[in-house]
Structure 1
């Protein structure tokens, strides 16, 4: 039996899993409570702002986790930028495959679905994407690319990977991720040589 003090964290973890797979509107309160093994009424006790607050915190958690993963993958391949960006696309392809193509980017589904109707969710998604962009840009600056070029290349990498994740999830095939990984490998190596 889970400890009572873990209820809030279980609900948050559950939301971080369900929202990317099913969307904000496609994930019901009963499903969130059931998946998080939380008693009825606990949502508003732990998240007074309700489902919207839970979604914001789930986005923040997911964004932070992917940010840490990006930092780690890039750091492990610090001297080989082409390999570093391929390590990122490979990890995302593996995660997507492992989920049975139900979860791509942890922010995309909720961003597309709920950000237009919720300023707190939109702001959380914006900050998540900004943090990922910053990790890539800082990595590129550390490899010698001047800041404006690093920001531009980070934007190209982030948007390309995001699009490849969407196509891969939709097609249930990681070929788009592999293709963009190879394109970015060549681009990173060219820009940083």
Structure 2
């Protein structure tokens, strides 16, 4: 595939991630994804023979992987403070660009996906566990004792997710900024 060209599958997954983050699982339809992505209808049957549910699960996994990337760099683990700064920058940008309409797609799947996507709970568990383990290992790699690293990782994931929800409700990045400042002081 030529550089800069995005496949119809990737466009559809990107659209599904966006719609999951703004509308939740109930708000994702095949027609909505096709309209947003510009992909041809035949792409659904080719790339997602399981239909809507398969598309939503692919989007949730992709969203999880994208957030995990903030805790990595090419030459090894990023410093925990730098990871927090990257996460804060990402969320500030997304929140303001979406006029506080976009949140975490995994939270959306957790809160409202169970009746829409039978695999939702398991996908959310895996993604949140993965983020927790990744941040725990990152902290441990930078000298934080394992037990403390595990507790700080739980605090970090829960605090950032909660801060994004509060930021949306308050239409301000202040909750996110406060949480990031406190987490940075802890590490």
TM class, shorter-chain normalised?
0.7 to 0.9
Once residues 182 and 141 of structure 2 are traced to their aligned partners in structure 1, the CA distance between those partners, rounded to angstroms, is 21
Structure 1: which 5+ residue stretches go unaligned? 189-193
Deviations 1:51-82 (A, max 9, x none): 1110111011111011012324x955x2xx55
Partner of 1:191: none
The count of aligned residue pairs is 180
Partner of 2:138: 139
Structure 1 pair 84/9, CA: closer, same or farther in 2 (3 Å)? closer
Partner of 1:53: 54
Report the Cα offset of residue 116 of structure 1: 5.2
Once residues 37 and 21 of structure 1 are traced to their aligned partners in structure 2, the CA distance between those partners, rounded to angstroms, is 18
Equivalent residue runs for 1:171-182 within 5 Å: 171-182=170-181
**Contact map agreement 2:20 2:28 (CA 8 A) in 1:** yes
Once residues 142 and 77 of structure 2 are traced to their aligned partners in structure 1, the CA distance between those partners, rounded to angstroms, is 11
Partner of 1:123: 122
Partner of 1:68: 69
Structure 1 pair 93/75, CA: closer, same or farther in 2 (3 Å)? farther
Over the aligned positions, Cα root-mean-square deviation in angstroms equals 2.2
Matched, 1:85 2:80: no
Partner of 1:186: 185
Secondary structure (helix, strand or coil) at the match of 1:119 reads: coil
Structure 1 pair 102/36, CA: closer, same or farther in 2 (3 Å)? same
Deviates more, 1:103-112 or 1:136-145: 103-112
Partner of 1:23: 24
The TM-score normalised by the length of structure 2 is: 0.85
Structure 2: which 5+ residue stretches go unaligned? 1-5
Deviations 1:80-102 (A, max 9, x none): x5565344324322222122212
Partner of 2:3: none
